[in-house]
Structure 1
Amino acid sequence: MHDNPAVEPFADAGVATVEDGYIVLDGPDGIAITLTAEAAVATGRSLLEAGESALKRGRDQSGEI
């Protein structure tokens, strides 16, 4: 995608945990964000929709059903 590996998309999934009532999402290369429960749920739904859409587009472009 890019010549600079620092701007390549991550292929590894993040791991979410609960700490002090907040959700901490630990991602690859030390990336971490802290979210409220509400923000985590909304983010999770948004990620699922976007991921499923991207997978469908990939299948559509490859000719698979």
Structure 2
Amino acid sequence: MTSKAPHNIPTEATAEQGEVMLDGPDGLAVSLTPDAARRSAERIARAAQEAGDQSRSAESATDGAPVDRHRL
């Protein structure tokens, strides 16, 4: 885990000449094949679901009190 706070700005994705181009925070820039982009999107969706579940779990464990996520 990094020491920086997570970004709340989503990455932009475009299709150019048969490649998927990603442009995101902190200079993220990458091109992927369509297959790699699809598989990455599936993995990101699964991780997002898991992270959301973890957040809800942590919040319910503290009855809604703020949680220092870096200490979990």
Q: TM class, shorter-chain normalised?
A: 0.7 to 0.9
Aligned identity (percent) is: 32
From 6, 11, 14, the counterpart of 1:14: 11
From 21, 40, 44, the counterpart of 2:41: 44
Q: Which has the larger radius of gyration?
A: 2
Query: Structure 1 CA distance, aligned partners of 2:12 and 2:46?
Result: 18
1:62 is matched with 59
1:5 is matched with none
User: What is the number of residues matched between the two proteins?
Assistant: 59
Per-residue deviation at 1:42? 0.2
Q: Which runs of 5+ in 1 are unaligned?
A: 3-7
Q: Which has the higher contact order (CA 8 A, sep 6+)?
A: 1
Per-residue deviation at 1:12? 1.4
Q: Which runs of 5+ in 2 are unaligned?
A: 64-72
2:70 is matched with none
